[in-house]
């Protein structure tokens, strides 16, 4: 069975959705993640993957398991893919 990969845009969109749900702007979330606003923007737009450290901080900040974070992002991707077929 082949494991589905989650692309950077899907992860970025999911992180953006979590940020908006917490009512943070990019500056606030970037500060809490100890990264620049520019780095967060690149993650949210799918230009870059979050680092391991950033992923760990996201886990604690949003109270989600890393696997759940990826699973939810995969689910979001699968839903998007199904709607575009």
Domain residue extents for the chain? 8-83
DSSP 15-69: HHHHHHHTT--HHHHHHHHTS-HHHHHHHHTTSSPPPHHHHHHHHHHHT--HHHH
pLDDT, tens digit, for every residue of 9-63?
888 988 999 999 999 999 999 999 999 999 999 999 999 989 889 988 998 999 8
Q: How confident is the model at residue 71 (pLDDT cuts 50, 70, 90)?
A: low
pLDDT for 67: 72
Residue where the block lists tokens 């230009």 = 47
pLDDT score at 84: 45
Rounded CA-CA distance 39/49 in Å is 10
Tens-digit pLDDT profile for residues 57-66: 998 999 887 6
CATH of the domain spanning 8-83 = 1.10.260.40
**Rg value, the chain, Cα:** 13
């Amino acid at each position: 069975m082949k494991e589905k990969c989650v692309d950077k845009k899907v992860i970025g969109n999911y992180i953006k959705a979590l940020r908006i749900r917490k009512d943070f702007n990019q500056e606030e979330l970037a500060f809490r993640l100890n990264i620049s606003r520019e780095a967060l923007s690149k993650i949210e737009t799918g230009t870059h993957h979050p680092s391991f450290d950033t992923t760990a901080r996201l886990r604690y900040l949003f109270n989600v398991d890393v696997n759940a974070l990826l699973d939810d992002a995969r689910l979001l991707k699968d839903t998007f893919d199904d709607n575009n077929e």
